[in-house]
């Protein structure tokens, strides 16, 4: 082999080594450029809606419970009374709502209860009190309350009035003397999608 070939071969090795280093340096520079980043963040503060309905005597209702203003003592067969109840949506969401009733014990079973949407009381506190409009939810005397009854929708801040009439039917047995019950109407609201 001639000396020129070896030198060329040595020179060729050095050039190749330098070129390899250049390639490595180039890859390093490219990966350094990739390390630069930027971010952007989008946020939103949200508050969940509230569902709360209140019951009371008028549109200013704010309580979750209300005692219907009817006689609580000395009921006898044929006695009836009626009173108004207002249900108000005090939450922040429009709701659909329903009513269900309960009246435990023998006297509760014997009582007839009607819930009328709207209307007025006729002879309210006197014996013979009734409602001026047809019932939307009825418990016949001698039976249990039916399943919950849908009442429609109630917008946030809106209210609806109900006439509630109660009757101890004629022919109710003497066995009911001295007994008591609690007639409970529960109004339940759910959000409207």
pLDDT digits (tens, 9 = 90+) for 35-56: 677 777 676 676 676 688 888 8
Contacts of residue 192, defined as CB under 8 A and 6 or more positions apart, other chains included, come to 93, 94, 95, 96, 153
How far is Cα 94 from Cα 192, in angstroms, rounded to an integer?
Answer: 6
Residue-level pLDDT at 13: 53
Q: Is the pLDDT of residue 62 over 70?
A: yes
- 88 backbone dihedrals φ, ψ, rounded to 5°: -120, 140
Q: Is the pLDDT of residue 26 over 60?
A: no
Give the model's confidence band at 68: pLDDT under 50 very low, under 70 low, under 90 confident, else very high: confident
Q: Is the pLDDT of residue 59 over 90?
A: no
């Amino acid at each position: 082999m001639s000396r020129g070939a070896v030198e060329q071969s040595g020179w060729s090795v050095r050039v190749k080594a330098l070129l390899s280093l250049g390639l490595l340096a180039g890859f390093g520079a490219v990966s350094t450029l990739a390390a630069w980043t930027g971010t952007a963040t989008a946020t939103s503060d949200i508050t969940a809606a509230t569902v709360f309905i209140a019951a009371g005597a008028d549109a200013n209702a704010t309580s979750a419970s209300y005692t219907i203003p009817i006689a609580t003592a000395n009921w006898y067969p044929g006695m009836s009374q009626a009173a108004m109840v207002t249900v108000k949506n005090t939450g922040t969401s429009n709701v659909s709502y329903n009513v269900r009733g309960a009246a435990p014990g023998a006297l509760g079973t014997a009582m007839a209860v009607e819930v009328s949407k709207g209307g007025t009381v006729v002879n309210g506190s006197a014996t013979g009190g009734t409602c001026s409009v047809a019932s939307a939810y009825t418990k016949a005397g001698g039976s249990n309350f039916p399943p919950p009854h849908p009442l429609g929708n109630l917008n946030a801040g809106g209210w609806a009035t109900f006439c509630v009439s109660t009757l101890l039917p004629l022919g109710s047995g003497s066995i009911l003397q001295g007994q008591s019950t609690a007639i409970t109407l529960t109004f339940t609201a759910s959000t409207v999608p």
